[in-house]
């Protein structure tokens, strides 16, 4: 490697390794890559290269560069070359800084350290002629380049000063030339251009020049103008020519600098943000905001440079010589000033828009729709307030950026490719999201239109009108409209999919019902095929620039049109088979979701028009039936009075007419037009009026005869009791048509409910109330309809009935609560299918709340029954409720324990119930974590305690029974048997776990043996000694025995690798073997490394012996053979030789 023998290179290595704490292997890796060493070699060999940078990259390691690295945020090491005094060589200076400060540090190092050292007169006088000047020029160029790069990295425009300003002799000559041009005398009334030049002269930089005059006399020549005038007369002709040459050179350099500045600034000022949109890019507002902020920052940076001392020097030189570039420099300054004014105005007025958009971007997408008006209002205010932004092109660009922003937010809100992928599963939610996006974007367009109209009104009303938006709206919404069209197509696909999905369970009736249903299902299955094809497309349908989706969409729409045609034919045939209007209307309702399709609306009206004719025919038949049957309706209602029969018959005809009219309204908007609708409505109104007149006539005739009919019946008895104790209203058949609303009917119904719906535990509680009711009924039985007080006496039956009905409803509620526990899961699996510990708090709270409700309902029933709390009848009632509750809790516990036993049964279990891991610990050896006793056993015992504890959450209902429900249920034989079965399963899994651990003990010698002692025995005897071998014969290990031991270790490693990662014991206990196998493989690797490391050391020694010059031929040959065998064995064991050994081996094999 070139340059690695240089002492400076060793110094660089030390600096780099110390700075980055670099591993020696990493440095060797760096040296081995020729491409990385190129900058280092150039720095070592090139005296004109003054800086070398080192930095770390996460992927490729240490890197070197001759220029400051960009985009590096980590530490950067700069090695700089500083020229020493004559014959003193050079000095290497190290500096560490952050990657972001690399350029700034380089500029500071050059300006504050290097240049001052080179410009010191006491140092440069000892150097060879011209060396210091050339080095200073080189450093100034280096500094200028670094400043340019630094500015470019920061997005700024650097105006490099002319190099001639750094050359002191040029400045001195310019001063002298200016004095000669004025006759060598400076009068007080002359212009102050020379003072301006001298004020901004760079003499404070102590820049050296190349003449041999004394440093102090040179400085005084620069500072003292009178001294220049005195010596000016003494200059010979050659010195005057040299001075003129320097002045010309400096003036030419300044003019070139002005040209360069004008080009740089003009290029920057001509940058137009709107060009990005015109170039078919799609920026968002944040990019324009950054553009204008960076533009203002750069303009201020340029303005500061134009006001710097260097710029004043250039201006003074050009002005003193009356150069044409002096005007160009002034124009440049005015252009920059105008640019600053423009940028400041735009940045200030864009800030409210930026703030509003920032607020919008942080909102949930559902809130965007209501904030569109606020966004457009800020844009409106920007147009009216800014003096520079109120240009149509800029406003069009900003509005397009806002559209691009909302397109981006919309695509981010929608699930991308899944917009179409969900068609095969659940398209409903995505369809709602698509509709929301469409509504939001349409709200943006609407807000734009409102602001546009408002500007037009302001333009008309104000004295000084505000210019309205004269640009066309399609320029603003070009990309947005394309995106909206894509979303509308996606919405159409989802709507069609949801419509066709309704065909899945559709079954038609009629003559050809089976054939028609099969036709519908064929259409449905064909549609599913098309949906799967569309949803399988890999493109993003929300990307309007991706035309792949359009191809899929065109194909899908063509197939859907064909399927719609087939479905219309099925529907047409079904309509032809309908025998009446209601069935046709029912069919239309079944396909209502489908009837708005354009193809259906074109082909179906002829069949629907026939339904209108059938509606008119049904109305005509109703009218004919009315006229033919109105005088003999009693044959249909022979068990009712004549008037009631006529009214019922009239109601039947009216319902038929209304049903026909409702059927017509179902299809009214689909066929016939306005004329048909008016005809049907007019015909139905005629029939309804006819039936209404008939009804009024019948009621009038009936009411006139009512008084005489009631007089006969009112003398009948009120009630009669039919055996066995069944209560009836006397004269019921005669009174039902007239007295249907009388409260006696309610009383009779309530009494029969009280007597017939009692339960065994309730009967003793209501016995006294029933006896009182019987006495009251006996009194009512003696009264007639015309007696007084009948209504009051019947109220007692109603009160009793109300209380008992409420109590029975409470009993039903208690029964439902107890029975509901049967469906409750006390034990559940977690997300990884393992059993969760304990019972969830929510479940416990629910059971406890149920118990409190049971207790409260029993107290309510005691009040309703008016029962004595200490009475025997109430105690028996509580025992009845207690039995119901205890039975419900028993079923709850049985369900939980059955869950455990079923999950632990090898024949019926599903996923693993519990999990442990097998680990290899240094002190305890092979153990389960947690142990079987501390883990699964204790866990399941605690779980069963929690299950029984759930019964204690319900307070005891019965007051005569001791202990809570948990104590009673723990003695239940069925629960005890299930508990014993769980414990049996635990013992079985414990035994199988011990067998698993015992089987893996065959590898115990690997972690129990002392590796160093075993290896020492192997080296001494070639094998491991047995327990009784004390005086074994020494037999050093050979290469073949090394191979044997390594092969044994590789075989064991292969066996361990093939062990299952997870073992399931008894079908329910999951044992994770991965911790054990990982640890064991690491131990095996340590054993193998012990053997291979010894062989590697032996290989190193052998190579050194073979390559020694004094080694004889025979020894070299034998060593090479043994060496080759050892290397082959190492390669077989997967050991790779280090690079230096591989290089030595290549030398040996070439001998």
* pLDDT greater than 90 at residue 460: no
Distance of CA 1114 to CAs 1118, 1121, 1122, Å?
6, 11, 13
* pLDDT greater at residue 629 or residue 451: 451
Q: What is the pLDDT of residue 725?
A: 53
* pLDDT greater at residue 108 or residue 528: 528
Mean pLDDT value across the chain: 77
DSSP 1031-1069: SPPP-PPPHHHHHHHHHHHHHHHHHHHTS-SEEEETTTE
Q: What is the pLDDT of residues 787-814, one digit of tens each?
A: 666 666 667 677 777 888 888 888 889 9
| Two tokens, residue 182 | 């004025």
* Average pLDDT value for residue range 8-24: 80
Q: Report which DSSP code applies to 389.
A: S
Q: What is the pLDDT of residue 318?
A: 85
Highest mean pLDDT among 170-174, 372-376, 608-612, 618-622: 372-376
Q: What is the pLDDT of residues 172-204, one digit of tens each?
A: 444 444 444 443 333 343 343 333 323 333 333
Q: Residue 1016 — very low, low, confident or very high, per pLDDT cuts 50/70/90?
A: confident
Q: What is the pLDDT of residues 834-853, one digit of tens each?
A: 777 667 778 888 899 999 99
Longest dimension (CA), the chain: 162
* pLDDT greater than 90 at residue 436: yes
Q: Residue 280 — very low, low, confident or very high, per pLDDT cuts 50/70/90?
A: low
Q: What is the pLDDT of residue 1110?
A: 47
| pTM value > 0.75 | no
Q: What is the pLDDT of residue 633?
A: 54
* pLDDT greater at residue 534 or residue 1022: 534
Contacts of 5 (CB under 8 A, 6+ apart): none
Q: Report which DSSP code applies to 112.
A: I
Q: What is the pLDDT of residues 1094-1147, one digit of tens each?
A: 888 888 887 777 666 544 444 444 454 477 778 778 878 777 777 666 666 655
Q: What is the pLDDT of residue 582?
A: 74
Q: Residue 521 — very low, low, confident or very high, per pLDDT cuts 50/70/90?
A: confident
* pLDDT greater than 50 at residue 316: yes
CB distance 674 to 595 below 8 Å:
no
Can you give the C-alpha Rg of the chain in angstroms?
A: 52
User: Which has the minimum average pLDDT: 213-222, 587-596, 740-749, 1015-1024?
Assistant: 213-222
Q: How far apart are CA 813 and CA 830, in angstroms?
A: 32
Q: Residue 1031 — very low, low, confident or very high, per pLDDT cuts 50/70/90?
A: low
Share of the chain above pLDDT 90, in %: 14
Q: What is the pLDDT of residue 427?
A: 84
Kindly give the pairing relationship between strand 51-57 and strand 726-729. unpaired
* pLDDT greater at residue 858 or residue 780: 858
Q: How far apart are CA 827 and CA 897, in angstroms?
A: 9
CB distance 28 to 1139 below 8 Å:
yes
Q: How far apart are CA 1092 and CA 974, in angstroms?
A: 65
* pLDDT greater than 50 at residue 986: yes
Share of the chain above pLDDT 70, in %: 71
Q: Residue 359 — very low, low, confident or very high, per pLDDT cuts 50/70/90?
A: very high
Q: Residue 142 — very low, low, confident or very high, per pLDDT cuts 50/70/90?
A: low
Q: Residue 300 — very low, low, confident or very high, per pLDDT cuts 50/70/90?
A: very high
Q: What is the pLDDT of residue 176?
A: 47
User: Which has the minimum average pLDDT: 262-266, 537-541, 1052-1056, 1119-1123?
Assistant: 1119-1123
Q: Residue 276 — very low, low, confident or very high, per pLDDT cuts 50/70/90?
A: low
Highest mean pLDDT among 347-361, 523-537, 616-630, 912-926: 347-361
Q: What is the pLDDT of residues 542-582, one digit of tens each?
A: 988 888 888 888 999 899 888 888 888 888 788 777 767 77
* pLDDT greater at residue 655 or residue 229: 655
Distance of CA 1041 to CAs 1020, 1046, 1048, 1084, Å?
12, 9, 11, 18
Q: What is the pLDDT of residue 439?
A: 94
Q: What is the pLDDT of residue 721?
A: 63
Kindly give the pairing relationship between strand 1069-1072 and strand 914-921. parallel
Q: What is the pLDDT of residue 186?
A: 37
Q: What is the pLDDT of residue 426?
A: 82
* pLDDT greater than 70 at residue 681: yes
Classify 725 as helix, strand or coil: coil
Q: Residue 149 — very low, low, confident or very high, per pLDDT cuts 50/70/90?
A: low
């Amino acid at each position: 490697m070139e340059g690695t023998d240089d002492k400076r290179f060793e110094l660089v290595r030390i600096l780099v390794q110390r700075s980055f704490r670099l591993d020696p292997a990493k440095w060797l890796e760096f040296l081995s890559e020729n491409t990385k060493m190129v900058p280092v070699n150039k720095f070592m060999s090139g005296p004109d290269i003054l800086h070398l940078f080192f930095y770390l990259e996460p992927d490729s390691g240490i890197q070197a560069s001759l220029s400051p690295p960009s985009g590096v945020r980590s530490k950067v090491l700069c090695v700089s070359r500083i020229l020493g005094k004559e014959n003193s060589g050079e000095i290497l200076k190290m500096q560490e800084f952050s990657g972001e400060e690399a350029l700034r540090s380089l500029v500071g190092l050059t300006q504050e350290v290097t240049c001052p050292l080179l410009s010191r007169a006491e140092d440069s006088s000892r150097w060879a002629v011209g060396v210091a000047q050339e080095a200073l020029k080189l450093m100034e160029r280096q500094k200028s380049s670094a400043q340019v790069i630094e500015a470019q990295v920061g997005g700024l425009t650097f105006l490099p000063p002319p190099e001639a300003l750094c050359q002191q002799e040029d400045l001195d000559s310019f001063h002298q030339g200016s004095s000669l041009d004025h006759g060598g005398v400076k009068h007080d009334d002359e212009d102050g251009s020379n003072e301006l030049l001298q004020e901004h002269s760079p003499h404070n930089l102590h820049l050296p020049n190349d003449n041999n005059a004394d440093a102090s006399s040179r400085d005084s020549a620069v500072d003292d103008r009178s001294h220049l005038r005195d010596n000016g007369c003494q200059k010979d002709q050659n010195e005057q020519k040299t001075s003129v040459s320097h002045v010309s050179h400096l003036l030419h350099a300044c003019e070139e600098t002005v040209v360069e500045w004008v080009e740089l600034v003009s290029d920057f000022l001509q940058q137009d943000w709107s060009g990005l949109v015109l170039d078919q890019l799609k920026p968002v507002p944040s990019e324009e905001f950054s553009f204008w902020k960076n533009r203002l920052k750069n303009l201020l940076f340029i303005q500061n440079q134009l006001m710097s001392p260097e710029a004043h020097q250039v201006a003074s030189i050009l002005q003193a010589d009356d150069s044409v570039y002096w005007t160009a420099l002034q124009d440049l300054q005015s252009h920059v000033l105008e640019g600053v004014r423009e940028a400041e105005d735009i940045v200030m007025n864009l800030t409210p828009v930026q703030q509003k958009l920032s607020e919008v971007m942080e909102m949930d997408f559902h809130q965007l729709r209501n904030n569109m008006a606020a966004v457009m209002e800020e844009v409106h205010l920007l147009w009216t307030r800014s003096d520079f932004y109120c240009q149509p092109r800029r406003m069009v660009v900003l509005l397009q950026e806002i559209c691009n922003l909302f397109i981006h937010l919309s695509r981010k809100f929608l699930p991308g490719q899944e917009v179409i992928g969900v068609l095969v599963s659940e398209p409903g939610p995505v369809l709602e999201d698509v509709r929301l996006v469409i509504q939001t974007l349409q709200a943006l367009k609407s807000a734009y239109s409102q602001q546009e109209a408002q500007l037009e009104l302001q333009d008309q009303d104000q004295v000084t009108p505000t210019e309205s938006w004269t640009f066309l709206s399609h320029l603003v919404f070009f990309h947005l409209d394309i995106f909206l069209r894509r979303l509308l197509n996606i919405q159409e696909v989802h709507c069609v999919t949801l419509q066709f999905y309704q065909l899945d369970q559709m079954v038609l009736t009629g003559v050809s019902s089976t054939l028609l249903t099969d036709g519908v299902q064929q259409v449905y299955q064909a549609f599913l095929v098309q949906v799967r094809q569309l949803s399988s497309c890999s493109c993003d349908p929300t990307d309007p620039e991706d035309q792949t989706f359009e191809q899929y969409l065109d194909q899908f729409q063509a197939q859907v049109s064909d399927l719609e045609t087939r479905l219309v034919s099925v529907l047409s045939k079904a309509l032809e088979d309908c025998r009446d209007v209601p069935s046709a209307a029912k069919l239309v309702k079944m396909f209502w979701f489908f009837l708005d399709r354009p193809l259906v609306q074109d082909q179906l009206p002829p069949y629907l028009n026939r339904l209108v004719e059938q509606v008119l025919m049904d109305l005509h038949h109703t009218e004919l039936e009315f006229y033919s049957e109105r005088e003999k309706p009693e044959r249909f209602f022979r068990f009712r009075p004549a008037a009631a029969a006529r009214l019922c018959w009239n109601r039947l005809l009216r319902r038929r007419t209304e049903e026909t009219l409702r059927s017509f309204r179902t299809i009214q908007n689909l066929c016939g037009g306005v004329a048909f609708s008016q005809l049907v409505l007019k015909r139905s109104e005629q029939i309804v009026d006819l039936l209404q007149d008939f009804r009024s006539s019948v009621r009038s005739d009936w009411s006139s005869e009512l008084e005489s009919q009631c007089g006969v019946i009112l003398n009948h008895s009120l009630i009669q009791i039919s055996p066995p104790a069944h209560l009836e209203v006397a004269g019921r058949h005669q009174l039902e048509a007239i007295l249907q609303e009388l409260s006696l009917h309610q009383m009779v119904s309530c009494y029969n409910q009280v007597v017939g719906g009692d339960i065994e535990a309730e009967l003793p509680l209501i016995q006294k109330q029933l006896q009182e009711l019987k006495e009251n009924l006996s009194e009512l039985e003696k009264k007639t309809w015309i007696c007084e007080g009948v209504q009051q006496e019947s109220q007692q039956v109603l009160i009793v009935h109300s209380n008992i009905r409420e109590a029975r409803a409470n009993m039903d509620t208690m029964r439902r609560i107890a029975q509901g526990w049967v469906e409750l899961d006390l034990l559940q699996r977690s997300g990884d299918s393992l059993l969760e510990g304990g019972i969830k708090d929510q479940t416990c709270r629910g059971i406890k709340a149920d118990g409190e409700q049971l207790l409260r309902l029993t107290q309510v029933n005691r009040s309703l029954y008016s029962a004595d709390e200490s009475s025997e009848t109430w105690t028996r009632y509580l025992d009845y409720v207690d039995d119901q509750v205890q039975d419900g809790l028993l079923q709850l516990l049985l369900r939980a324990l059955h869950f455990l036993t079923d999950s632990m049964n090898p024949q019926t279990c599903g996923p693993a119930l519990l999990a442990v891991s097998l680990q290899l610990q240094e002190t305890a050896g092979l153990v389960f974590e947690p142990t079987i006793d501390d883990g699964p056993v204790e866990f399941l015992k605690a779980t069963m305690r929690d299950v029984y504890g759930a019964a204690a959450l319900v307070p005891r209902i019965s007051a005569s029974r001791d202990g809570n429900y948990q104590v009673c249920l723990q003695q239940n034989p069925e629960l005890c048997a299930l508990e014993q079965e769980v414990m049996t399963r635990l013992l079985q899994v414990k035994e199988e776990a011990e067998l698993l651990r015992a089987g893996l003990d065959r590898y115990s010698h690997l972690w129990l043996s002392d590796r160093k002692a075993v290896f020492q025995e192997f080296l001494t005897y070639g094998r491991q000694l047995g327990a009784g071998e004390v005086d074994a014969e020494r037999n050093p290990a050979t290469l073949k025995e090394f191979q044997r031991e390594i092969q044994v270790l590789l075989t064991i490693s292969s066996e361990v690798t093939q062990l299952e990662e997870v073992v399931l014991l008894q079908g329910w206990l999951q044992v994770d073997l991965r911790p054990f196998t990982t640890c064991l493989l690491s131990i095996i690797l340590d054993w193998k490394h012990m053997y291979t490391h010894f062989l590697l050391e032996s290989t190193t020694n052998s190579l050194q012996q073979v390559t020694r010059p004094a080694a004889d031929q025979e020894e070299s040959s034998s060593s090479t053979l043994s060496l080759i065998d050892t290397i082959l064995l190492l390669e077989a064991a997967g050991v790779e030789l280090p690079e230096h050994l591989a290089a030595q081996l290549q030398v040996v094999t070439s001998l």
